[in-house]
A and B are shown apart, each in its own frame.
Chain A
């Protein structure tokens, strides 16, 4: 079964510092991986994806993620955090069971950026 794990419930970082939100995956075959962000009282917004190609993918709002096959990880990063980045972040993997296509989400990591 395809799954992702987010080992940290919450990450705290000071504004201006680099941030990392961790995600590891467990899939059979090549993984299709995604990051989403959810701001308070709003729907999920797509940030970025890894399908194939360059291991470093860039996305919206200055975020990037590094696909690491040997460590089965897909960590989300940003060089300099903003207070407005404070939100709930979800890692997801594309599931392609026979006859079914959908996303399986991790448990989520709450990012708190302190001014």
Chain B
């Protein structure tokens, strides 16, 4: 398995501002993912971030709202831009184990937008 850390663990932000969430992995991985989860509910994939290429966004998510960086094989950031209360959620990053298909998740970032 991989050890994944996220910063910040939680934040309270004002509407109209932006927050950048960091995801750090203890080993090199090709594929990283960003999900959103309302507390107690299912996960929704935002985008897939591979090193050296543009992130691939799911339907309903756009780069202007959720820009992603993937500068190397152990790190990624997700920015939530121009936030509104509807962006209040838990944001999780994950990595796929090479050849194993299963994903390992970070502890999440709990975002509240006021």
Contacts and interface: CB of A to CB of B under 8 A. Distances in A.
Interface of A: 32, 34, 36, 42-46, 49, 51, 88, 90, 94, 99-108, 110
Interface string B33-58: 10000001111010010000000100
A30 to B, nearest CB: 12
A102 B33 contact: yes
A88 B40 contact: yes
Contacts of B29: none
Interface of B: 1, 4, 31, 33, 40-43, 45, 48, 56, 92, 94, 96, 100-108
Interface of A is mostly: strand
Interface of B is mostly: strand
A107 B42 contact: yes
Contacts of B96: 101
Contacts of B48: 100-102
A45 B42 CA distance: 14
Contacts of B1: 46
Contact of A103 (B40, B45, B107, B108): B45
A78 B42 CA distance: 22
Contacts of A90: 42-43
B92 A46 contact: no
A104 B108 CA distance: 18
Given A102-B33, A105-B43, 10 more contacts: A34-B102, A42-B107, A43-B4, A43-B106, A44-B43, A49-B102, A51-B101, A103-B33, A103-B103, A108-B42
A105 B102 CA distance: 12
20 contacts: A32-B101, A34-B101, A34-B102, A42-B107, A43-B4, A43-B105, A43-B106, A44-B43, A44-B92, A44-B94, A49-B100, A51-B101, A90-B42, A100-B48, A101-B48, A102-B33, A103-B43, A106-B42, A107-B41, A110-B40
